[in-house]
Amino acid sequence: AKAAGRDCYRAFEEAMRAVVEARRTVENEIRTALAEGQFELHYQPQVSVLTGRITGFEALVRWNHPVRGMVPPGSFIPVAEETGLIVPLGTWVLREACRQAAGWPGAPRVSVNVSVVQLRSGGVVKAVAEALGESGLEPGRLELEVTETVMLDDTTATLGALRAVRSLGVLVAMDDFGTGYSSLNSLHNFAFDRIKIDRSFVADLASGEKALAIVRAVIGLGRSLGVPVTAEGVETPAQLERLRAERCDDVQGYLYSRPVPAAAARRMLEEAGGR
């Protein structure tokens, strides 16, 4: 029994070591990727329900890995957050998004996802100011998307950073609204410029009465607060019609377009301008 226990422990130790090593490998790979320019931004349009026009694009980071190909953010953002590498990566995202958006015809907004780790790090205000300064992008065309986890811990640091960013004229959106524990509390504590309804509610719109009730309530909340509401993950014409009937402001999702490389985003704007 003792020997079996020892074997078991050794197996556990080995498994732990493998986990730690795998993480260290990804960590080193992220560093290399930053140094060698393997990250790129794709852009997904946000469209006005009323006019059908593109009002903005959300920047979504991809890792163009030399061996694994295009890696989605879900597999490396968490490691980047745990290791603090989200800070330099996030600064790169801000600079790249502002640089590319500055040249867009029709001057739509660009939305950038910002992690709570970045906000807590203290450097985000400077990073935003520098990205705006070097690109010449008007502050009102930049929007930061934050989830309500920013309200969960160390609220003085994160709220302070958000208020400072907002005083530069930059917009701040509440992302994934309704998925956490304190969505309402967050709205109470900070003057968000936009609410994004999480795609889980949009997905259930056609099937469930409950999802419709929630979507209706969030849109009503936005209207009462004077804050525009964007629905995420709109995939079907039926969902769009529902959202139109509820007078949702903007939609984003595969129905209109998947996230596309910067050149394709620019073409979308050029074509829209030519109509």
Interface residues with Ca ion (CB under 5 A) are 113, 145, 175-176, 232
Tokens representing 205?
């719109």
Query: What minimum distance in Å lies between the beta carbon of 58 and ligand C2E?
Result: 7
Tokens representing 208?
């469930």
In angstroms, rounded to a whole number, what is the distance separating the alpha carbons of residues 162 and 143? 11
Among 46, 91, 115, 158, binds ligand C2E (CB under 6 A): 115
Tokens representing 222?
């936005």
Which residues, in sequence order, are bridge partners of residue 146? 174
Among 37, 52, 72, 220, binds ligand C2E (CB under 6 A): 72
149 binds ligand C2E (CB under 6 A): no
Tokens representing 209?
């009465």
H and E: helices and strands count for the chain: 11, 10
In angstroms, rounded to a whole number, what is the distance separating the alpha carbons of residues 231 and 50? 13
Among 132, 233, 239, 242, binds ligand C2E (CB under 6 A): 233
Judged by beta carbon distances under 5 to 8 A according to partner kind, the member of Ca ion, ligand C2E, none in contact with residue 205 is none
- Which residue's CB atom is positioned nearest to ligand C2E? 253
Which residues, in sequence order, are bridge partners of residue 260? 43
Among 26, 47, 54, 93, binds ligand C2E (CB under 6 A): 93
Judged by beta carbon distances under 5 to 8 A according to partner kind, the member of ligand C2E, Ca ion, none in contact with residue 115 is ligand C2E
Among 91, 113, 135, 158, binds ligand C2E (CB under 6 A): 113
148: exposed, middle or buried (Cβ count in 10 Å: 0-12, 13-18, 19+) = buried
Residues that bind ligand C2E (CB under 6 A): 44, 60-61, 72-74, 77, 86, 90, 93, 113, 115, 145, 175-176, 199, 233-235, 253-254, 259
